[in-house]
Structure 1
Amino acid sequence: MSFRLSSHPSFRAFEHRDYVRLWLGAFVSNIGTWMETLALGVYVTEVTGRAEWTGGIAALTYLPSAVLAPVAGALADRLDRRTWMLMCMGGQTLLAGLLTALAFSGQLSVPVVAVLSFLNGCVATLAGPVYSALIAGLVSPQHLHSAQSLDSAQFNLGRILGPVLAAVVLARWGVGWALLVNTLSFLTVFLALAKLPPVARSASAAAESLWGGLVRGVRVARGDEGIGLALSGTFAVAVLIAPFIGLVPVFAIQVFQGDATATSMLITAQGLGAVVAAVLAGWLAERLGRRRLLEGSVLLLGPVAAMYWLSPSLAFAGVAVFCLGAVYMWVLTGLSTVCQARAPREALARVISFYVMLLNVGYSVGVWLQGALADRLGLRPVTACAALGLLGLVLAWRALRPRGVEALEG
């Protein structure tokens, strides 16, 4: 009896050929993106010698979502999504190519990296909602959770493989070659998009003004209790839990007196946890139900995050962040699936854009605030209290709105 990968509940989205093409293209491109991220981080750190510059430039890629994410969603609902995605990929390729050319010509500088990182963040923000909307349109509704889980898996696999490949390229050939690989990696997305049929734009969205489309998107999100709860939950998770991603170097170096190797170990462990969670997500969702999986994951998230921050040793922290990466992935996949499954097709990209905006803005606020408080009060007390704060919010919400959880059925 033959075994097909797509026969497993977690891989059902792979039954859709166009989804597989886009998944593979995004996976290769994501590896290149992480290679560029590491290469630029190393370059800025070596040139300036200051973590403040490294973290500040990294944050520039998230800032545009505060303003552009809702606009991106409205545009994606008004335009042909494949064409819009091709335009965004073209913009990112040009920016990556410019960075590569400057590196090879010896003209790369920290201010240039800052400006191009901000511009790349703008284009990436414009591409995010339409990419998610494309995924939702390529699979059947019952396979949407599988598609979201597998997309998270490819992102985390890219985060594991990209830095490893970047380290090899940087050691042997230098920054320019790592940036060149990223530039070329966008070709895989172009090839995948070229195979997709055009996606007809929504007639009702096209007839609206851009501002009218934004207002209608807000009304859709506020009018659906499930979407509203999922977006609120996303912001709470982003502020209170997500900063563990950006604070990994501080935790490894300041708390455990580690180095880059310790930092890399924790990042890899988190990525592996997310990948394993993606493989198990479909199986668990099929047996528990998507709503029960999300509800249980949200309840676990705070305690698991606190366990990580209170780890007595680096080895324990590695195991804890593996578990945290898994639960965090289940929570975000579940919340995203609720938003996409409950949103009307003509407003899908706008609802997704609100999710992206709240996740990125919440993370930016949370990582800055927790970092600033940690400098004054200590990293462990601040982060552990934030993690347990999420648990308190979840328990309070369940007590005050016992029937509200039913609205999270995607």
Structure 2
Amino acid sequence: MFASLRVPNYRLFISGQVVSNVGTWMQRIAQDWLVLDLTHGSATALGIAAALQFAPTLVLSLWGGVLADRVDKRLVLVGIQLAMGLCAVVLGTVVLTGVVALWQVYLLCLLLGCFSALDAPMRQSFVSEMVGPGQVVNAVALNSLCFNLARIVGPAVAGVLIVAVGTGWVFLINAVSFVAVITGLLLMRPEKLYRTERVPRAPHQLRDGLAYVRGRADLMAVMVLVFLVSTFGINFFMTLALLARNVFGRDAEGYGLLTTLLAVGSVLGTTAAARRTRKPRLRLVAGAGLVFGALLVVAGLMPTYLSAGLALVPVGFAALIFTTAANSSVQLSVDPTMRGRVMGLYMLLLLGGTPLGGPLLGLLAEHFGGRAPLVVGGVVTVLSVVAVGLVLARRSGFPGLVRIKGLTAEAR
């Protein structure tokens, strides 16, 4: 289950990520709560903040993927982590000095989004360079395990700290946490990396990457599913805040507990995913998406805070199986010289839907209540997977046999 940890460079990377991810989740909870405090619980304002943080993904992640194929990923990642830490310092400072205003939070969300859009494809494509192709599935699962363990610890700690000392100190603690991941990157032994040949600068590289994906029906199916499910289903940062505060009348600790319960399910899902050694099939990606959507509806309909929290455990499990299977499937299906550009597109679709889904779900909550984003998001997720299955069944444009809820497509 932990085979990737035998690789020294990966051990350094994941050790830094454990600390940094805890800080990131602490900031995410504190930022959501700060927006709600500044706007007296406005779901629309929370959706706008999410859109600003993730909107740069629409513009920059594809170019980040092109850059990842050209540069030394390790050194560029160091610079990006420094910039993200500086954003946390500034946000913490304006809060602690009492001059914070909503526009400042919005601006820093936008800046952080720019750096995150460059970071994501760089970091995702760097995984195979650390562990080699034989350990990619395991490393992707362990990355998710690290991320979701942090999602258990981070929100719980953030909820306590917000009540005890306020959001400002939470942002500064996150800034300090970036030291760990930067140190891990700098201590790596470059000669032990499984480097792919850098792609020389040339015209039309972005277009070539998009054409490569367009010509692969298996990649197209995964990309479409990732976009639809992440846009309407995986918007927990907003839907759980609204569920905790506006439906059940809970404070920041209550919000943190919901996020923690979701993360418990994600850790269980990661444990299951880490045992896989082969490239996941498309039917696993689709099946996990269907189950996730159905469970999301159930969680949204739970009558009490406790029952809603417990329902989030299987939701987290299914969401993790879906995202890990999709990520591994894409990474192991592409030409190494295209990996950065393909993962740039993947991260665009995974995160870039948030600027669309965030405000839409926020407006939905304003008009129909805090449960509506979960229920509608789950329904849309299920319908999306079924629709993709129907299209594939008609096109039959990739090798193998795909079955999605009884839909069968036989390849040419």
TM-score normalised according to structure 2 size:
0.85
Mapped partners of 1:336, 1:252: distance in 2: 30
Question: Residue 60 of structure 1: which of 52, 67, 92 is its match?
Answer: 52
SS in 1 for 2:302: coil
Q: Which moved more, 1:381-390 or 1:175-184?
A: 381-390
Q: Residues 69 and 353 of structure 1 are in contact (CA less than 8 Å); yes or no, is this contact kept in structure 2?
A: yes
Q: Residues 64 and 122 of structure 1 are in contact (CA less than 8 Å); yes or no, is this contact kept in structure 2?
A: yes
User: 1:143: how far off?
Assistant: 2.0
CA separation of 1:109 and 1:407: change in aligned 2, threshold 3 A: farther
Cα displacement string for residues 254-298 of structure 1 (whole angstroms, at most 9, x for unaligned residues):
555655555433322111100111012133x35x97325435323
Question: Residue 251 of structure 1: which of 243, 246, 249 is its match?
Answer: 243
Q: Does 1:348 align with 2:339?
A: yes
Cα displacement string for residues 12-70 of structure 1 (whole angstroms, at most 9, x for unaligned residues):
22222211211111121111122222333333333342423344223311010000000
Q: Tell me which amino acid in the other structure corresponds to 1:169.
A: L
Question: Residue 323 of structure 1: which of 284, 291, 314 is its match?
Answer: 314
Q: Residues 32 and 185 of structure 1 are in contact (CA less than 8 Å); yes or no, is this contact kept in structure 2?
A: yes
- What CA RMSD, in Å, does the superposition of the two structures yield over aligned residues? 2.8
Residue 280 of structure 2 is matched in structure 1 by: 290
Mapped partners of 1:402, 1:310: distance in 2: 37
Residue 278 of structure 1 is matched in structure 2 by: 270
Q: Does 1:109 align with 2:122?
A: no
Q: Does 1:406 align with 2:400?
A: yes
Q: Residues 79 and 206 of structure 1 are in contact (CA less than 8 Å); yes or no, is this contact kept in structure 2?
A: no
Mapped partners of 2:301, 2:38: distance in 1: 34
CA separation of 1:266 and 1:400: change in aligned 2, threshold 3 A: farther
User: 1:191: how far off?
Assistant: 0.9
Mapped partners of 2:163, 2:298: distance in 1: 36
CA separation of 1:402 and 1:251: change in aligned 2, threshold 3 A: farther
Q: Residues 293 and 379 of structure 2 are in contact (CA less than 8 Å); yes or no, is this contact kept in structure 1?
A: no
Question: Residue 71 of structure 1: which of 59, 63, 76 is its match?
Answer: 63
Spell out the pairing of 1:375-390 with structure 2 (5 A cutoff).
375-376=366-367, 379=372, 382-390=376-384
Mapped partners of 2:401, 2:224: distance in 1: 13
Mapped partners of 2:161, 2:382: distance in 1: 41
Mapped partners of 2:112, 2:260: distance in 1: 25
Q: Does 1:16 align with 2:7?
A: yes
Q: Which moved more, 1:153-162 or 1:187-196?
A: 153-162
Mapped partners of 1:144, 1:350: distance in 2: 17
Mapped partners of 1:205, 1:25: distance in 2: 28
Residue 390 of structure 2 is matched in structure 1 by: 396
Mapped partners of 2:67, 2:114: distance in 1: 14
CA separation of 1:247 and 1:124: change in aligned 2, threshold 3 A: same
Mapped partners of 1:381, 1:176: distance in 2: 33
Q: Residues 52 and 355 of structure 2 are in contact (CA less than 8 Å); yes or no, is this contact kept in structure 1?
A: no
Q: Does 1:195 align with 2:187?
A: yes
SS in 2 for 1:205: coil
Q: Tell me which amino acid in the other structure corresponds to 1:13.
A: S
Q: Residues 279 and 329 of structure 2 are in contact (CA less than 8 Å); yes or no, is this contact kept in structure 1?
A: no
Q: Residues 225 and 407 of structure 1 are in contact (CA less than 8 Å); yes or no, is this contact kept in structure 2?
A: no
Q: Residues 205 and 213 of structure 1 are in contact (CA less than 8 Å); yes or no, is this contact kept in structure 2?
A: no
Aligned residue pairs total: 395
Mapped partners of 2:110, 2:58: distance in 1: 13
User: 1:320: how far off?
Assistant: 2.4
TM-score normalised according to structure 1 size:
0.86
Q: Tell me which amino acid in the other structure corresponds to 1:361.
A: G
Where do 5+ consecutive residues of structure 1 fail to align? 1-7
Q: Residues 298 and 394 of structure 1 are in contact (CA less than 8 Å); yes or no, is this contact kept in structure 2?
A: no
CA separation of 1:43 and 1:81: change in aligned 2, threshold 3 A: same
Residue 208 of structure 1 is matched in structure 2 by: 202
Percent of aligned pairs with the same amino acid: 28
Mapped partners of 2:158, 2:208: distance in 1: 43
Q: Which moved more, 1:396-405 or 1:237-246?
A: 396-405
Q: Does 1:155 align with 2:147?
A: yes
Q: Residues 18 and 196 of structure 1 are in contact (CA less than 8 Å); yes or no, is this contact kept in structure 2?
A: yes
Residue 366 of structure 1 is matched in structure 2 by: 357
Q: Tell me which amino acid in the other structure corresponds to 1:158.
A: A
Q: Does 1:332 align with 2:353?
A: no
Q: Which moved more, 1:289-298 or 1:397-406?
A: 397-406
Question: Residue 184 of structure 1: which of 170, 176, 190 is its match?
Answer: 176
